[in-house]
Amino acid sequence: MALRTRLTEKLAIRHPILLAPMGSTAGGALAAAVSAAGGLGIIGGGYPDPDWLEREFARAGNHRIGCGFITWALARYPAALDLALRHSPAAIMLSFGAAAPFIPRIKQAGAIVICQVQSLEQARIVLGEGADIIVAQGTEAGGHGGRRSTLPLVPAIVDMVAAAGREVPVVAAGGIADGRGLAAALMLGADGVLMGSRFYAAEEALASPAAKARLVAGSGDDTLRTAVFDIVRGRDWPPEYTGRALRNRFSETWHGRERELAATPGENARYAAAAAAGDFDTAVVFAGEGIDLIHAIEPARLIVERVMREAEAALARRFD
């Protein structure tokens, strides 16, 4: 069964699977592997670091990939977009901030504009601003996100786009880690999925082996949404976006005591030293609620192939 959707047509890919642009984790090798397997790999531009971007684009080789940015951070360093566009990416993904200032430049460069949203109102806005693809991200997602759940958010955005008479693919994100999730997303009206946590545990991901092992051993029950890791790292995230991560000793100590954390001298330095040492009782491991479905660290190619087999089998069982 070929799962051809508006997403595969729009991006000229074989499989309706996108790599979430996880900052400092989704590098060039991982993006290239996902694209080679038939999806679209997207480098995580994060808090723009030009040296990191140049290095990871180089590591992607000649593979057709995209690049994603935290939009509020990109607004502080807009030259990073020009750097990325010089590498002729297939797409640029914008998340967590105003997309309008960047959309014209992306389109003029010939790249596809992917906008990730966390609410129906945000989806209406980016649709009007010219988004080519909309990612509907539910709160189950690892890393930063909003409050709405994937299951009701995705069809609400699908219906809104259809009512507007627009042929804009909608992609589901949040808690999707296997082929059943892809099949379910298609039943909700989505045209594909964007997966982060599942690829965090890929061999090619830039996360440390210890962090990957924690994610594989963890459960969605072990995650929480919190701002404490942003506060201690000095990341000025808008308050509506918290980060879903594995609970650890640090979050148990400080979650709910955010003001006290921000005012505690030396905590930033202690955290930085722990992170540098790979101490994940203190350092963050961002992870989504779908990690119960992740059982091994594997090459990205095998992950894509398994997700497609599982999705095709799930759809065949329901509609044979």
State the average pLDDT over residues 127-131: 97
Is the pLDDT at 175 greater than 90, yes or no? Answer: yes
Quick one: 200 and 221 in the same domain?
no
Q: Report the pLDDT averaged over residues 142-162.
A: 98
Angle at 86 between CA 104 and CA 4, to 5 degrees: 70
- In a domain, residue 23? The reply is yes
pLDDT of residue 203: 98
The reply to whether 285 falls in a domain is: no
CA-CA distance, 138 to 142, in Å (whole number)?
Answer: 10
Q: Which of 101, 61, 57 is CA-nearest to residue 83?
A: 57
| CB 198, CB 305: distance < 8 Å | no
Cα separations in angstroms, 191 against 106, 134, 177, 260, 305: 22, 10, 16, 44, 18
Asked whether residue 53 is assigned to any structural domain, the reply reads yes
The string of pLDDT tens digits covering residues 262-296 is 999 999 999 999 999 999 999 999 999 999 999 99
Q: Identify whether 282 is part of a domain.
A: no
Residue 119 belongs to some domain of the structure: yes
HEC assignment per residue over 208-223: CHHHHHHHHHCCHHHE
| Same structural domain, 175 and 26 | yes
Return d(Cα 264, Cα 305) in angstroms, integer. Answer: 48
> What per-residue confidence (pLDDT) applies to 318?
60
Q: How far is CA 106 from the centre of its chain?
A: 19
Structural domains of the chain, count: 2
Closest CA to 239 of 227, 229, 228: 227
The answer on 171 and 78 residing in a single domain is yes
Q: Report the share of the chain in percent with pLDDT over 70.
A: 98
Whether 30 and 165 share a structural domain: yes
Q: Tell me what pLDDT residue 272 has.
A: 96
Question: What pLDDT, on the 0 to 100 scale, is given for residue 317?
Answer: 83
Name the residue range of residue 270's domain.
209-276
Q: What is the pLDDT of residues 215-259, one digit of tens each?
A: 999 999 999 999 999 999 999 999 999 999 999 999 999 999 999
Question: Looking at the structure, do residues 199 and 245 belong to the same domain, yes or no?
Answer: no
Q: What is the mean pLDDT of residues 310-317?
A: 92
Query: Could you tell me if 195 and 218 lie in one domain?
Result: no
Instruction: Examine the pLDDT at 319 and tell me if it is beyond 60.
Output: no
Residue 302 shares a structural domain with residue 173: yes
Evaluate whether residue 238 is within a structural domain. yes
Residue 20 and residue 138 share a domain: yes
Q: Are residues 27 and 106 in the same domain?
A: yes
Q: Is residue 289 part of a domain?
A: no
In which band, very low, low, confident or very high, does the pLDDT at 190 lie, cut at 50, 70 and 90?
A: very high
What CATH number is associated with residue 123? Answer: 3.20.20.70
* 202 and 218, same domain (yes or no): no
Residue 310 lies in a domain: yes
**Mean pLDDT, the chain, integer:** 96
21 and 62 share a domain?
A: yes
Same domain, 199 and 216: no
Tell me the pTM.
Answer: 0.95
Q: Confirm if 142 and 292 have CB atoms less than 8 A apart.
A: no
